[in-house]
Every structure is written in structure tokens, then in C-alpha cells.
Structure 1
Amino acid sequence: MILWGIDLGGTKIEGVILASDTKEVLFRERVATEGDQGYDHVLNQVANLIEILKSKSGLIPEKIGMGTPGSTDPETGLLKNCNAVHLNGKPLKKDLEDRLQIPFTLANDANCFALAETHMGIVQDLAPDAKVVFGVIMGSGVGGGLVVNGQIINGAHGIGGEWGHNFLDESGGPCYCGKTGCTETVIAGPHLERFYDERSGHKKGLRQIMADRATDPIAQATYDRLIHFYGKGISTIINMIDPDVIVIGGGVGNIDELYTEGLESVKKHVFNTSCQTKILKPKLGDSAGVFGAAYL
């Protein structure tokens, strides 16, 4: 079977054609999103990308999977929670299908990440029999996606896996979503940097903060905060869903200690005498989004 996927990002739109049996990438192209030119222009860019792929491959898509920076509300069909704000409130699926006369399946980028790592990534390598996979995004925000028996679980509101907006700790402060103390406000990269800045009076990137722990007690406190609340946050996923595998993506997920000291922190809060869940680094890098979209 030939699979078509589109990853709609803030700066680029990437398309791929995959052979699902061999997982071979047949064709892959990118165009600029140019979201500052408005929603209709983004629709044109998606259409242009599909035309490029059709021209280069000689193939015609029967259906297309697309990853988006937010979720589609199942009741209204409108996009929501997009950091690319020109997409919010727009009927992207309907507009693309009306324009291109091709069926589309949409899911958010975290769901696509989880799906890709399940079918083509680290899960295939280290836990091929896994039935339940949770994909975590920890970067500028915190998100997640849930895959059960190889399929995305979107949920009744289209927010399946959105653990980043569960309450974690009051100290996180107000969140853009309107709540206070969301997981995102505590362990996302910019919020960890804010924690450091407010206590030190100096601005540093998270990578430098982590590197300075041995000589900077506030950097160490920032690290301790991450490890403690990472353990509490991840444990809620395990306690509620009990996945076979959790894959940690995003820039914060590159911190090696999350898989050692962070794992010990998780174990302290899991409702069990041991923790058998595999917590893994991803394999696919920034390819995950478009590969996952194809598997939709």
C-alpha cells in the first residue's frame, strides 16, 4: 500500500509518499508554510506541495493523512489549540477536501509523533510487541499522543493524550489555556528557563543551565525541579493508561538524566511496587511528524 502524509508546521510543510510494506520513503518534499500571508495562502501551499509530489511520483493519492499543530474538534470540525493562530477556528479538513477532492485524516503533531515511533521508530526496534504506546512531547510546550493497537486514540473532544494541561503544581503559575499550574507551565523548556531567570536574575538557555549545575546552585535547583515534576507527571500517565512504552520527544527529552534519575523519580510515584514501562528516546527525529501523518 502507498501512504501519503503531510506535516503542516509553523515554518514548513513537508510531504512524503511511503511504501507501507517496506517502509521505504519513495518521495519527500518541503515547501514554506508562509503562515503570515494568511489561512488561504497556507491552503494553497498544501495544494502546491501535493501537486509537486504527484508530478514527481506519477502517483495520485486516494487519501492523505495530515499532522497539524493543533487538534480538530470532533463536534465542530474546526481546528483548536494551534500555536499557529491563523489556523484556529478554521475547518481545515473540509476546506482541503472541497478544494482537492481527496479525503483527509487529520491529527495533531504529538499523535503523529507517537504513531510514527510505533510503526517505524524505536518501538519497532525495542518493543515490537507493544500494544499501548504513549508519545510525549517536551519542548517549548508539553503534549502527548496515545496509540493503542497501532491506532491513534483521539477521544470524544479530540484531545486524547493531552497530559500537558493536567494540573501538576501551583508553582507553575498561569497557563495560556486559562488554568494554573499545568504540567506545561512546570516542565516545558521556556518555563524551566523562567524558573532559573526569576531566581538568578540572569537569562540562560536550558542547555546551558543543565551544563552549569556543578558550579551554579540555581541551575542545580532547576534540574531538581525538572526531575521531581517529570517523575510526578509521567507517573500519572502510567497510573491511568499503563502503557507498554513511553517515547519522549522534544528538546527537553534530550536531557540524558531523564532516563536515569528521571526514571527513578517516576518509580517513586507509580501506583505499583515496580515500574516495567519502557521509557525510550525516539529514533526518527523531525521525520516523525510526516511519517506519522502518512500512517493516519
Structure 2
Amino acid sequence: MRSTSSHEAVPATTPAASLVFTTVLSHGPLTRTEIARRTMLSSAAVTKAVRPLMEVGYLVEDLNDGARSALGRPANPVRVNAGRAFFIGVKVTGDEIIAVLADLCCRIRVARHIRLTHREPEAVLPSMTSLVHELLLEAEGFGVQVRGLGIAVSGDVDRADGVVRYSPFLDWRDVPLAGIAETATGLPVTVDNDVRALTVAEQWFGAGVGLSDFALVTVGAGIGCGLVVHGQVVSGAHGVAGEIGHLSIDPLGPPCHCGNNGCVEAIAADPAILRAVRKVTGRAVTTAAEALELARSGDPGVREIYARAGEAIGRAIGAVVNLLGPERVIISGEGLAAYDLFAEGIRNAFAASAFGTAAECDVMTRPLSFEEWARGAAATAIQSFIGSDTD
């Protein structure tokens, strides 16, 4: 976690306090008894964690006419005071910057978009800084201070050092993004891979709430995967984990930008599909919408391209389920627009690949807008703020 000591942090200075806060954040309102049951902490430890968080207003008690537990303790539920602090989340794509102002419960209050004409850091960073300052002014209108900035970028991102080591869609290498953004905005900054950031949001506020083990697979411009194992988002020993897009499932397949052949991303990502469609049809197809129109009009060659893409995704999901045994796999990303064309290939390949009872894994789709990816960046800022990024 990167932050500067001059900024206030939530007083979750112990693992127990951080655990209590994140439990209430995801599952609240909860009584102290329910918190103890979910966290497996003693009642005394819960009380010790809750009291200072209430004193500074991050947790509040929902009064319930003096209700008492069986042991005579107050049974009023405790919840997070969402308006106590705001956070800014930024998602940088190859074409635009999306920024959101979110409250402490990661609900989006304001969203801003700006198109990018150039992808060099020298062009992107001033635009990003301008959006952040706009949202800081919005926060002033709410009378709430912004406590952190989260930035989500595709590719190999070192969260601990705040460095974008390599982002293929932006063509960035070794950009010290957190340090630059901290200097420009005056905020504590968390920089993470965009799929991991979205996974944090799903773990705390979305389809992963309450699950100890799940995977988030994203399809679209790339093929990504966020992993949660034993309640922790996996970042890997070297900051790279879950890169199912670079599983080589066909050594004789098309070349991938990573240097290998037949990667899932080289078969099923939007750019790969467009290349294949152009080759099969001879048409100058430049957008996913054009390719979808051809497929849905019944072009057999284009439909076969999508079927093959679905098969590649299904085999990749089968590999994840066989290796980690998650309770659920969530499929999301802008590529879900083609899910009707992918679905059968995904189902069949997953069923063929999954071993034994691994096939019982719940595989679901969850359409999410790019604003939700920016919300994921805000979630990482909240995570850093409350001191729970301990993986």
C-alpha cells in the first residue's frame, strides 16, 4: 500500500479492527454478536475494534429502541457511515479515462469521462489529473473530504511500488504512476491491475460477497482473470496472477502479443476476433459491433470464429476451476455483448475440461459498465485506507 503519513487513515490499526470494518462494510448492518460470529473474534475483541471506529464516525449504530441481546449487551446493528469519506477511482483504457467519486460504501456519487487522442503518459496524466481535480471540487460540494485515489490500468502493475511495469493496450513501460499522481493530486494513491481492482469491488460489494473462493473472468479487449483464494485477492509473488488470457491452448494457433502462439487472448479477445473476421470475410471490419452484426446476420464463417472464441474461454475457465476449485466464476467485461454467440462454446468446453465435481462450480455472467471498473479502482483506494490490503 502506498500512502503518505500526512493523510488521515481510518483507525483500523490492528488486523482485528481491519477485519471488523471490512466485515461490516460487506455484510452490514450487523450486531456485535453477528460480527463476532462472522469474524470468529471474541465479543471483547469486537467491542475493542468497534469503539474507536464509532468515535471518529466511520461506524455508526442503528438505534433499535434499546434492544438487548440474550446476554444483556446492546443489540443495535452497526453499519458503515458511507458519507464519512469519499474516494476517487480512475480507469484508464486505450480510448478514454473514466473517473468516479465514490463514498465509503463504494457507491458512485459522480462519474466523469474523457476521450483520449493519445496514449503516451505525457498526454494521459494531465487529463487524468484534471478529472481528479474536477471530482475533488464535487466532493467539496458534498462537504466530504476525499481520502484516497485508486487508479486501474490493464497489464503488469506493481501495486506495492505503484508502478505500471507494462500495459500492452497503452504501450506503457515502467511508469511510476502512483508517485506522479500523488504529487499532482496531493492524495494517497493506489495503483493496481484493472481486473484485480474489479475483483476487489466484486468481493466486497458484488457477486463475490460472502464467498471465500471465486474467480472473475473478463472478456473484451483482453482476457483477464481475478482470483480470490481463502478470502484474499491473489496478486502473486511477482505481481502477476490469473493471466488466463496467456494460457496457450493451441500451440499452432495465431500469434499473441506476448510472444507465444494460441493464447486464449489471441483467439477470443476482441482484436483477435476482428482480425479473424477480416481474414474470413475480406471486409474492412473495424469494430466489435460490426463483427457482431455479421455473425447475427448468419455469416457461418464469422459465427464459427465466435464459437471458437467461446471454446477457448470455456477451456480457460475449466483450467481455473481445476486448479483452484472456486465456488463461483463470474464472467464480465464488454465482450459479454457477444455472449449469445459464446455461450454454447463456453458451456461445452467447460463441461469437457472440468474434472469431476469441479464441474459443479457456479458459472454466471455479470454485465458491468466501464464506470464499474472505475468503481473497482475506488475500492482499492478504500482497501488501502482501511489497511486491509494485506495479501
TM-score range with shorter-chain normalisation? 0.7 to 0.9
Among 331, 347, 353, the alignment partner of 1:269 is 353
Q: Does 1:102 align with 2:190?
A: no
Greater displacement, 23-32 / 276-285? 23-32
Q: Indicate how the Cα distance of structure 1 residues 195 and 15 shifts in structure 2: closer, same or farther if over 3 A, else same.
A: closer
Among 364, 371, 377, the alignment partner of 1:287 is 371
Q: Does 1:56 align with 2:138?
A: yes
Q: Unaligned stretches of 5+ in structure 2?
A: 1-81, 381-391
Kindly provide the amino acid, as one letter, of the partner of residue 235 in structure 1. G
Query: How far, CA to CA, are the matches of 1:201 and 1:32 in structure 2?
Result: 30
Task: Indicate the SS of the match to 1:170.
Answer: coil
Q: Indicate how the Cα distance of structure 1 residues 118 and 210 shifts in structure 2: closer, same or farther if over 3 A, else same.
A: farther
Contact 2:166 2:172 in 1 (8 A): no
Greater displacement, 174-183 / 44-53? 44-53
Among 164, 170, 175, the alignment partner of 1:90 is 175
Task: Indicate the SS of the match to 1:43.
Answer: helix
Equivalent pairs counted in the alignment come to: 288
1:180: which partner in 2? Answer: 261
Q: Does 1:198 align with 2:279?
A: yes
Query: How far, CA to CA, are the matches of 2:283 and 2:123 in structure 1?
Result: 40
1:45: which partner in 2? Answer: 127
Q: Unaligned stretches of 5+ in structure 1?
A: none
Task: Indicate the SS of the match to 1:88.
Answer: strand
Greater displacement, 220-229 / 91-100? 220-229
Mapping for residues 119-268 of structure 1, pairs under 5 Å = 119-121=204-206, 123=207, 128-148=209-229, 151-202=232-283, 205-213=290-298, 216-254=299-337, 255-256=339-340, 258-260=342-344, 262-268=346-352
| CA deviation map 1:51-79 (0-9, x unaligned) | 21121221332222211133324687531
Q: Does 1:7 align with 2:88?
A: no
Contact 1:115 1:152 in 2 (8 A): yes
Query: How far, CA to CA, are the matches of 1:41 and 1:202 in structure 2?
Result: 33
Task: Indicate the SS of the match to 1:238.
Answer: helix
Contact 1:8 1:33 in 2 (8 A): no
Kindly provide the amino acid, as one letter, of the partner of residue 250 in structure 2. D
Kindly provide the amino acid, as one letter, of the partner of residue 109 in structure 2. L
Q: Indicate how the Cα distance of structure 1 residues 4 and 194 shifts in structure 2: closer, same or farther if over 3 A, else same.
A: closer
Task: Indicate the SS of the match to 2:360.
Answer: coil
Task: Indicate the SS of the match to 2:258.
Answer: coil
Q: Indicate how the Cα distance of structure 1 residues 16 and 221 shifts in structure 2: closer, same or farther if over 3 A, else same.
A: closer
Q: Percent identity?
A: 24
Shift of 1:46: 2.4
What root-mean-square deviation, in Å, do the aligned CA atoms of Structure 1 and Structure 2 show?
A: 2.8
Shift of 1:196: 4.3
Shift of 1:203: 5.4
Q: Does 1:35 align with 2:118?
A: yes
Q: Indicate how the Cα distance of structure 1 residues 217 and 62 shifts in structure 2: closer, same or farther if over 3 A, else same.
A: closer
Shift of 1:24: 3.2
Shift of 1:84: 4.5
Name which one, 1 or 2, has greater alpha-carbon Rg: 2
TM-score of the two chains, using structure 1 as the length reference = 0.83
Contact 2:99 2:371 in 1 (8 A): no
Higher relative contact order (CA 8 A, sep 6+): 1
Task: Indicate the SS of the match to 1:29.
Answer: strand
Shift of 1:48: 1.9
Contact 2:159 2:190 in 1 (8 A): no
Query: How far, CA to CA, are the matches of 1:193 and 1:33 in structure 2?
Result: 22
Task: Indicate the SS of the match to 2:228.
Answer: strand
Kindly provide the amino acid, as one letter, of the partner of residue 228 in structure 2. V
